[in-house]
Amino acid sequence: MIRHVLLRVLQLVPTLFLASIVVFFIIVKAPGDPAQITAGPEATPEQLAAERARLGLDKPLAVRYAVWLSDVARLNLGYSLLARRQVTQMIGEAVPQTLRLALASMTLSILIGFPIGIVAAVRQNSRLDAAVTGLSSIGLAVPSFWLGILLILLFSVRLHWLPPSGVGDPDEGSLYNLRYLVMPVVTIAASNLAVFARFVRSAMIDALAADYVRTARAKGLGARAVVVRHALKNAMIPVVTILGIQFGRLLGGAVVTEAVFAYSGIGRLSVLSILNRDYPVVQGTLMLVVCLFLFVNLAVDLTYGYLDPRVKAQEA
């Protein structure tokens, strides 16, 4: 088992390596001269040349890539061109905010999405089922930035219940700061729980049609026991596979949602850095996101193999 896990981790290395080349090229190919940005618009050609040498921009590409990669491997992501702060420090401040958002919305969407998906499957083709399916197709289609704007219109502009933007004030109590989390969490959860509801529903429908469920019914088990002990347990196995995809969606959703609510997490950091041409920060956030995404997907794969021994047998 440990060998299997190590092997899978090793298999990530080439992908990470290639992804790092893509991320590195952002700074090379991106329009705008980093030296010009740090030296200011009125720098003389000599000052510009000195700034280029300081940033290492005068070296050949391969050398620059090697230097950059070894820095990244040692978690040194360089300095922001604008804020004159370490990129790791800026990312370190943004990550907890995004994680809080991601965990809260993942919890909310599982808590709502799973039960309604199960109920819709058990009462397939009922009016309730139609409502769940209909709502989930709306949830899938509503762009998060529009949903965010609608929530702000209702809860901030009209009702004055919640603050329209920001992450709160660390000096205030957690209950005060919780108010800043409500709308972003709901915005991200909306599309997420729609996916969960749909997926759980179809997995449950498949499971309920399986032979072992018929057997369980035939031997006289109660409806609740059949659903919970037999169908649900097996339906959860395919559901695990979408958790990784959903995690990627969650990070993507965070980019847009954080922009809507001026919520200072990883997504907003990367978008602001692009708009400001602060490339080291863009590179740092992208590398972090890629690592997170790859490892979460690996973890999901391994869990899947653990839950369903048939998968591992196929791989071997």
Partner 1 sequence: MATSIPESRPKRPERPPAAARSTTVLRRLFGERKGAAGSVCLALFILVAAVGPQITPYNPIELHLDAQLAPPSARFWWGTDELGRDILSRVIYGARVSLAAGVLAVALAGVVGVATGLLSGYLGGWTDAVISRIWDTLLAFPAIFLAIGIVTIIGRGYLNAVLAVAIINLPTFARLVRASTISLKGKDFVEAARAIGAPSGRIMFKTIFPNCLSLVVVQMAVAAPAAILVEASLSYLGLGSQPPTASWGNMLTAAQSYLYRSPTYGIFPGAALTLVVIALNYFADGLQDAIDPRRTRAGARMS
Centroid of chain to Cα 250? 3
Residue 31 interacts with partner 1 (CB under 8 A): yes or no: yes
# residues near partner 1 by CB under 8 A: 59
Burial class, 170, CB count within 10 angstroms (exposed 0-12 / middle 13-18 / buried 19+): exposed
Residue 122 interacts with partner 1 (CB under 8 A): yes or no: no
Tokens 């965990």 correspond to: 103
Residue 137 interacts with partner 1 (CB under 8 A): yes or no: yes
What is the CA angle 195-198-202, rounded to 5? 140
Residues 251-290 that bind partner 1 (CB under 8 A): 251-252, 255-256, 259-260, 270-271, 274-275, 279, 282, 286, 289-290
* Residues 249 and 188 sit within 8 Å (Cβ to Cβ): no
Burial class, 10, CB count within 10 angstroms (exposed 0-12 / middle 13-18 / buried 19+): exposed
Tokens 């709901």 correspond to: 186
Residue 206 interacts with partner 1 (CB under 8 A): yes or no: yes
C-beta closer to partner 1: residue 73 or 141: 141
Residue 145 interacts with partner 1 (CB under 8 A): yes or no: yes
Q: Which residues contact 171 (CB under 8 A, 6 or more apart)?
A: none
Nearest distance from C-beta of residue 139 to partner 1, angstroms: 10
Q: Of 277, 274, 253, 276, whose CA–CA distance to 263 is shortest?
A: 253
Residue 143 interacts with partner 1 (CB under 8 A): yes or no: yes
Residues 284-313 that bind partner 1 (CB under 8 A): 286, 289-290, 293-294
Whole-angstrom distance, CA of residue 87 vs CA of residue 9: 26
Interface region with partner 1, contact rule CB under 8 A, candidates 14-22, 78-86, 169-177, 211-219: 14-22
What is the CA angle 114-305-249, rounded to 5? 45
Nearest distance from C-beta of residue 140 to partner 1, angstroms: 7
Residue 202 interacts with partner 1 (CB under 8 A): yes or no: yes
* Residues 261 and 163 sit within 8 Å (Cβ to Cβ): no
Taking residue 92's Cβ as centre, other Cβ atoms within 10 Å add up to 10
Whole-angstrom distance, CA of residue 140 vs CA of residue 125: 20
Site string for partner 1, 155-174 (x = CB under 8 A): -xxx-----x----------
What is the CA angle 7-11-13, rounded to 5? 125
C-beta closer to partner 1: residue 43 or 271: 271
The one among 199, 227, 234, 304 contacting partner 1 by CB under 8 A: 199
C-beta closer to partner 1: residue 9 or 153: 153
The encoded tokens of residue 62 equal 């391969």
The one among 1, 2, 7, 29 contacting partner 1 by CB under 8 A: 29
Nearest distance from C-beta of residue 83 to partner 1, angstroms: 18
Residue ranges in contact with partner 1 by CB under 8 A: 14-16, 18-19, 22-23, 25-26, 29-31, 137-138, 140-146, 149-150, 152-153, 156-158, 164, 195, 197-203, 206, 242, 245, 248-249, 251-252, 255-256, 259-260, 270-271, 274-275, 279, 282, 286, 289-290, 293-294
